[in-house]
Structure 1
Amino acid sequence: MDTPDGRALTSREREVLVAMITHAKPSHGAFGASERAALLETVDDVRVWGRCGCGRCPSIDLGDTSGEYPSTGPRVVLDGWRGTEGLLLFVDNGVPTYLEQYSASDDVFDEFVPVSEIEYH
């Protein structure tokens, strides 16, 4: 990153983050209404500290102005889908640490899928 405190989320990144917190089901760990509410209160403070190095996806490392959130402590993984593409939100120790989009194909994505296209199973 070229700023000492990360960068702000783009509007699409923020929309996907909020949608995942609000609607996505946990594939790992427990995540109830109180955890969702607490996490939603932190969204305005979330900053981007890095991107996946694959060059094919929009996945991002998350933190706040003090730095990237550590991927330690109890972990919850929230899942969303669009066809053969998956979205994951990693929540470690009560904070969002990584927002990922992946694909089973060779497609390249410059940004996250629109929230209207995300499914939650």
Structure 2
Amino acid sequence: MERNLTAAEAAVLEVLLLNASSDQETEPTAELRNQWVAQIPNLQVVHECGCGACPTIDFTDPKAKFNHRIVLSAFDDTQGAGILVFIDDNQLSCLEVYPSANEAAELPAVENISF
């Protein structure tokens, strides 16, 4: 069952795409980051994590194969949660929010995200 992004999910995704650090040797250019942001209005959530501890959402099949992955990362200090955006073959594929303790994590408020 596909669905549109919520306004909160889109806002978190945009802030991360524009500001979060990358796992690559060189940081993505502003032009590339803007290309990723331009994908947000057309994204569909195709899968939601069912673990009960996180609000992770996928925009592509989680089992899909890819050639190149970029991971952007940030943190929510208020709830001690990590936040990752996965970009596979230049397509946004996943927004992951994971708890760093044994408590469930929620989608962070944009103002609580640190880079």
Fold-level similarity (TM above 0.5)? yes
Pick from 57, 75, 79: which aligns with 1:81? 75
Aligned to 2:98, what secondary structure does the other structure show?
strand
Letter matched to residue 110 of structure 2: V
- Structure 2: segments with no counterpart, 5+ residues: none
Report what 1:115 is aligned to.
Answer: 110
Residue by residue over 1:13-64, the C-alpha shift from the partner in whole angstroms, topping out at 9 and shown as x without a partner, is: 111111111111102465221210111111100110111121110000014x
Q: Which residue in the other structure is 2:90 paired with? A: 94
How far, CA to CA, are the matches of 1:37 and 1:114 in structure 2?
21
The RMSD of aligned alpha carbons is 1.7
Alignment size in residue pairs: 111
Same amino acid, percent of matched pairs? 29
Q: Which residue of 2 aligns with 1:53?
A: 50
Unaligned residue ranges in structure 1 (runs of 5+): none
TM-score relative to the length of structure 1:
0.83
TM-score (normalizing by structure 2): 0.87
Deviations 1:47-89 (A, max 9, x none): 10111121110000014xxxx4845121100001012310000
